[in-house]
Amino acid sequence: MSSNADMGAWRSPAVARQTRPSICHDMSRISPSISIVTPAAFDRETSQTPGSERLAAISASQGIEAPIWGGLFVVEPGAKTGIHHHGEQDTIAYVLAGACLVRWGEHGEFSATARVGDFLHVPAWLPHMEINVSATEPFRWVVVRSTPDPIVVNLPDDVWGDAG
């Protein structure tokens, strides 16, 4: 087994791809390479919602062709996002840090709190918003979307009648 020092095939500190092909189990086909995206290379130029920041990691903007999108989602202390949905995309999130009150529904009538270690599933087309309940700590999620291009449809602030 070779050490990391012997991994001369890895080139970029930002988005690394194996440059020598690996062979599949039947030895007749070349397998795709693995991509590693470091935090310094996360793309801030992805679709955004007021009150939060999305950072693309696994996306076409990183030169990674995949049937899904992956990245980070951050809401600063005491902030809340605008009301939005993700069109046809289902979203799965894992809470890395902090706690978040999530509101959803036609009128924002439902809510639940997600904490460190929790997973969330946000169905396609569901209007929702995230509220950071902490005055001192941001919350951070790892997010995976069901299509390769992020969809964010920001709704009017008054869509729920109580400004979220």
Mean pLDDT for back-to-back runs of 10 residues, the chain (164 residues): 40 46 51 88 86 91 91 94 96 96 96 97 97 95 94 94 68
- The reply to whether 81 and 47 lie within a common domain is yes
CB 8: neighbour CB atoms within 10 A? 9
- The reply to whether 35 and 53 lie within a common domain is no
What residue numbers bound the domain in which 28 lies?
A: 1-41
Identify the CATH number of the domain in which residue 138 sits.
2.60.120.10
Alpha carbons 114 and 111: distance in angstroms, whole number: 10
> What pTM was estimated for this model as a whole?
0.77
- The reply to whether 51 and 132 lie within a common domain is yes
- Residues 139, 75: contact at Cβ < 8 Å? yes
Whether 75 is covered by a domain: the verdict is: yes
Whether 106 is covered by a domain: the verdict is: yes
- The reply to whether 72 and 107 lie within a common domain is yes
- The reply to whether 55 and 87 lie within a common domain is yes
- The reply to whether 60 and 35 lie within a common domain is no
- The reply to whether 28 and 50 lie within a common domain is no
Whether 159 is covered by a domain: the verdict is: no
Q: What is the 3-state secondary structure (H, E, C) of the chain?
A: CCCHHHCCCCCCCCEEECCCCCECCCCCCECCCCEEECHHHCECCCCCCCCCEEEEEECHHHCCCCCCEEEEEEECCCCECCCEECCCCCEEEEEEECEEEEEECCCCCEEEEEECCCEEEECCCCCEEEEECCCCCCEEEEEEECCCCCCCEECCCCCCCCCC
What's the total number of domains in the chain?
2
Alpha carbons 36 and 101: distance in angstroms, whole number: 31
- The reply to whether 124 and 63 lie within a common domain is yes
Token pair of 154, please? 């920001």
Alpha carbons 147 and 108: distance in angstroms, whole number: 25
- The reply to whether 9 and 62 lie within a common domain is no
Token pair of 146, please? 């069901």
- The reply to whether 99 and 74 lie within a common domain is yes
- The reply to whether 11 and 55 lie within a common domain is no
Whether 31 is covered by a domain: the verdict is: yes
- The reply to whether 7 and 37 lie within a common domain is yes
